[in-house]
Amino acid sequence: VLAIGCAVAGGGHHLSQPYPAPFTHDETYRAVLAAEFTSLSAENQMKWDHLRPSRDAFDFTDADAIMEFAAQNGLVVRGHTLMWHNQIPAWVTEGEHSPEELRAILKEHIETVVGRYAGRMQQWDVVNEIFDDAAVLRTEGNIWIRELGPEIIADCFRWAHAADPQALLFVNDYNVEGINPKSDAYYALIQDLLADGVPVHGFSTQGHISIRYGFPSDLAENLQRFADLGLQTAITELDVRMDLPEGGRPTEEQLAKQAEYHRLVVEAAVSVEGCRSLTLWGVLDKYSWVPGTFPGEGAATVLWDDFTRKPAYDAVQDAL
Ligand code: XIL
């Protein structure tokens, strides 16, 4: 069974229009999350900048609200994310902490956050985007790896596993849909981690795809090689964006292509044993991060802003 999930919009700085937080203010949107999906992810609400106003404080208000909503509606949750180079508060990035202090801060964070939701979290993205676009470990760009060394990756998994032995612990990144230097780097890293007995349970690819660049046709083959290592796999942030024509309305051809890409992703996921989770990174374009992040592109979700269905919606449904 493939859980189909959605990221709960909110807490980002990307919205082109200043919508009030959709999850708390848009009842129709909430109803769609509950009715259409079996899994939820926090788009931003479980990231450091959200959870950690200061070194001494945790703010779980928005994260707890997602967990409660999921429990009420019988949905599972993917936790996102524990160790990442982005959306870290200034008190961490600009604070003058020694490596020992930083290590204690990270450990406390993982123990507290994972521990809070222990037994209620299906999967955690423990490390996110640790390789750069050249498939090189972010030894400069990721403050944790820079200050604490690559060994910190294994520690994050060990701390998370101790805090919640039931949660499946994932390595997550973008542009690792197909077999390429970046997914090769993960393949090598994960083999090393497994050989060292590190509790890593899953490899996931985000799935931020543009029809401009074509479909990663070896997606299933790539996921399968991680499955062959004994791992679960997942697609965690699927959206399929396109260059918007003048006026903003995609052409029928673009929508058909977007639908085809969704179908191919679902088919790949279904074909790989141990791929149990496919999450859409939003469901309405007005709340999507895409227009604010990729200039000129958009329409990346499966519903129109009035909640009617794009061809991509039916493609997902039909391929399941
Ligand atoms: C994005 C959110 O969608 C935005 O709201 C936020 O402003 C920036 O982050 N890879 C990830 C996600 O792992 O956390 C990112 O989410 C998108 C890319």
Distance CA(314)–CA(297), nearest Å, equals 22
Concerning whether 237 is annotated as a catalytic residue, the answer is yes
pLDDT at 12 over 80: no
CA of residue 266 relative to chain centroid, distance: 16
- Bridge partners (DSSP) listed for residue 208: 239
Catalytic: which of 43, 96, 111, 129?
Answer: 129
pLDDT at 20 over 90: no
For the stretch 119-172, pLDDT in tens is 999 999 999 999 999 999 999 999 999 999 999 999 999 999 999 999 999 999
Catalytic: which of 177, 221, 237, 297?
Answer: 237
- Bridge partners (DSSP) listed for residue 239: 208
Distance CA(161)–CA(191), nearest Å, equals 18
Amino acid identity for residue 12 in this structure? G
**Side-chain half-sphere exposure of 217, counting CA atoms within 13 A:** 1
Whose CA is closest to 170, among 128, 145, 203?
203
Domain boundaries, the chain: 3-319
pLDDT at 54 over 80: yes
Concerning whether 151 is annotated as a catalytic residue, the answer is no
pLDDT of 14 reads 66
Tell me the two tokens of residue 48. Answer: 């450091």
pLDDT of 112 reads 98
In CATH, 3-319 is 3.20.20.80? yes
Atom 15, ligand 1: residue with shortest CA distance: 43
Q: Which residues line ligand 1 (CB under 6 A)?
A: 12-14, 43-44, 128, 174, 206, 237, 289
Q: What is the mean pLDDT of residues 92-98?
A: 97
pLDDT at 27 over 70: yes
Question: What is each CA distance from 98 to 110, 202, 317, in whole angstroms?
Answer: 18, 32, 51
For the chain, give me the number of helices (H) and strands (E)? 13, 10
Q: Where are any strands of DSSP class E within the chain?
A: 3-8, 39-42, 76-83, 123-128, 168-173, 202-205, 208-210, 232-243, 275-280, 297-298
Q: What does DSSP assign to residue 275?
A: E
Pairing relationship of beta strands 297-298 and 232-243 according to DSSP bridges: antiparallel
Amino acid identity for residue 136 in this structure? V
For the stretch 249-288, pLDDT in tens is 999 999 999 999 999 999 999 999 999 999 999 999 999 9
